[in-house]
Amino acid sequence: MAGVAAAVAAARNGIRTVLCQDRPVLGGNASSEVRMNVSGASVRGAALETESRESGIVEEMMLECAVRNPQRCANMLDLILYETCRAEPNLTLMLNSCVVGVRMDGDRIAAAYVNRESTEHYFEIEAELFADCTGDGRLGSEAGARYTTGRESSEEYGESFARDDRDAYRLGSSLLFTSRDMGRPMPFVAPKWARTFSEEDLWFRSHPTWEYGYWWVEYGGMRDTIKDNEEIRDELLAIMLGVWDHIKNSGHHPESANWALDWFGFLPGKRESRRFVGQHVLTQHDLEQSVDFHDTIAYGGWSMDIHHPGGIEAADEKPNIHPYTPYMYGIPLRSLISANIVNLLFAGRNISATHVAFSSTRVMATCALMGEGLGTYAAFAVRSGKPHEAWRDPELVRDTQQQLLRQGAFLPGKLLEDRNLAAEAAIVASSEQTGGAASQVADRHTRSVHGRRGVRPDLAVPGTHRWMSDPADTAPWLELRWERPVQISRITVVLDTGLHRHLALTHSDGHHNRMEWGPQPETLKDFNVQAGIGGRFEEVARVRGNYQRQLQFDVQLGEVDCLRWEVIATNGLDHARIVEIRCE
C-alpha cells in the first residue's frame, strides 16, 4: 500500500515515476495473495468527534472498493490498485519485477537493477530519488543504507515497553485462510506433517468463528524473517492446517462439520524485518506525546501492537499487548529519509522507528499515508533542483504539507493556508442543524478530531466542521454570496464519508458487519452546482452517483456573485452534509 500511494502521489504531482513490484499483484499484505485487512487509526473513531480514518489516496481506493466490490472479492482490490496506477500517465508500472542490486555513485544510488523472470528481462533504472517501500528494505540494503533489526533495550531510548536487553527478536509472520459453510458434511484430513493443537494450546487465541483466520497463526519472530522465509512458510502451513484440523476434528467445535477451507495463503504475511535508520528515529515517546513535528508528513493511531516473538509457540502467554497512545500522532518526514544514502527515501514498515514505535506505524493504512507523503515530497524535491537536501528546506517541507492538504490528506495541527474565495463570501443555507452551521464549510477544518483519543487538545478545534441540513428540509441548498463579483477557475468540495468508521476489505464477517460497505450514507450522491450573477443562474456541474470524498471542478467563471449547491440525494442519510468548499 505504501508503494502504490507513493508512486501515485509522485506521478499526480508531475514527475515521471516507475513502480517496481516483485509480485504479480499490488497491495502487499492487502493483496489477494495474503488477504490482511488494511487497518489504521480508524479503530479510535467516534462520530462527529474523532474522525480518525485515513483520507487521501488510500481513502479514494477504499471507497472505490466498497462500492465496486459488494461481494468482497480479494482480487477486486488487486484490480482497483492496478487501475489506480494504470490511470496515471506519469507512472510506469512494472509487475513481477524485483530489485536485485544497485549501482552507486558515492553515497548516492545512481541506478537500480531490476530482474523480471516472467519475460527474461533485466532493467537498469536511473532516477534522482529512490523510494524503498518493499517492507524488507531490499533496495536500501543493496545500497548499504544503515538499518537495524530486532528489539532495542529500554536504555537505548528510555522506552517503557522495550525489553531490558536488546535482542534479535521481532514480530512473526502469518498465513491466513478463508472457509465457508457448504451445507453438508465436509470432512478434513490433515497432512501428516500438520501440527497438532489442543484447546488448551489455543487458550489465549480466540477462534469462535471460522470464515477467516487467524492473525495469531504466527511464527518466525525468533528467526530471520528474510533469510528463513521459506522455512517459516513451511512451518506456518503446518500450523495453519493444524489449527484447522483442531477446529474440524478435535470434537471441541462440532458446529464446524459443514465448513471447508476455500482458500489459504502460501505467501507469509510479514510484519517485521529491517527498519532503516533515518534522520529521525521515531520512538514510543514521540507517539505517546503526539509530538508536533515541523515536518509532519503523515499520522498514525493504531495501538502499539507488540506481538510475542514466540508466536503460537508461546501457548501459555497472550499473543500480544496493544496499549493505545493518548492521541493520534504525527510522523515526520525525517523518519522517511535515509541517514547515509542521500537519495534514498522509504515508507511502510521499514521506516526509521524503534521496535516499539514501529509496532503502531506498521499497519497498512498508516503505511499508505506515509507513501502519499513521501511521493508528494519527492515531486517537490525533484522540481527544486536540489533533491538530496530538500528535506532540510522548511519552505519546501511546508509546501509539501500544503499540497497534501489540497489532495485531501490530513495532518494533525496543520491547516491549508491557500486563499479561499468561499471564506470571503456570505454563506447561507436552506436549513441548518445545531452544530452544523453552513459557515463551517469555509473554516479550513475537514474533520472533527477533538474527541476522545483524537488529536492533541492544543492542536484540535472542537466542532463538527461541516454544514448539516435539517432532516425535515426536503430540498436542501447552500449558497456562497459575494458582495462584489469574483472570478473562479476551480471549485473543490469535500464531502462526509464517515471517517469515524473503519472501511476496508475484510474477509471477517464480524469485522465487516461493523462497517458501511458500499457508498457511505453521509456522502452526497446527486447534486448540482450553479453559478449566478444578478440573480440569474447557470449550471456549472451536475454530479450523479457520487461516492467519493473530494471532488474538483475546473471552471472558467468570469464574473459571479453567487455559487449554489442544490442537493438532490445522499447515499442514505436523512440530511445533507458538506464538509468544505474551496474556490480559487
Residue 309 has pLDDT above 90, yes or no: yes
pLDDT tens per residue across span 77-131:
999 999 999 999 999 999 999 999 999 999 999 999 999 999 999 999 999 999 9
Q: Tell me how far the alpha carbon of residue 180 is from its chain's centroid.
A: 29
Whether pLDDT at 535 is above 90: no
Per-residue pLDDT tens for 472-526?
Answer: 999 999 999 999 999 999 999 999 999 999 999 999 999 999 999 999 999 999 9
Say what the pLDDT of residue 280 is.
Answer: 99
pLDDT at position 308: 98
Q: pLDDT per residue over 362-418, tens digit each?
A: 999 999 999 999 999 999 999 999 999 999 999 999 999 999 999 999 999 999 999
Rg of the chain taking only CA atoms, in angstroms: 25
Closest CA to 334 of 390, 406, 274: 390
* Beta bridge partners of residue 275, listed in sequence order: 148
Confidence of residue 462 (pLDDT cuts 50, 70, 90): very high
Contact indicator for 41, 301 with CB cutoff of 8 Å = yes
Q: What angle do CA 414, 418, 419 make, to 5 degrees?
A: 135
Q: Cell numbers 541517514 correspond to what residue?
A: 339
Question: E strand or H helix at 565, and its extent?
Answer: strand 550-570
Contact 539, 529 (CB under 8 A): yes
Instruction: Work out the average pLDDT over 146-174.
Output: 98
Cα(479)–Cα(254) distance, integer angstroms: 62
Model confidence pTM above 0.85: yes
Amino acid at 222: M
Phi, psi of 566 (to 5 degrees): -105, 115
- Cβ contact 110:142 at 8 Å: no
Cα(347)–Cα(99) distance, rounded to whole angstroms? 16
Given a cut of 90, whether residue 534 has pLDDT beyond it is no
Percentage of the chain lying above the pLDDT 70 cut: 100
Gap between the Cα atoms of 365 and 363, Å rounded:
6
pLDDT of residue 128: 98
Can you tell me the distance from the alpha carbon of 92 to that of 254, in angstroms, rounded to the nearest whole number?
Answer: 52
Residue 411 neighbours by CB under 8 Å, 6+ apart:
296, 297, 298, 299, 330, 401, 404, 405
Q: How confident is the model at residue 262 (pLDDT cuts 50, 70, 90)?
A: very high
Share of the chain above pLDDT 90, in %: 99
What pLDDT, on the 0 to 100 scale, is given for residue 386? Answer: 95
Q: Tell me how far CA of residue 44 lies from CA of 300, 324, 327, 343, in angstroms.
A: 11, 9, 9, 36
The mean pLDDT of the chain is 98
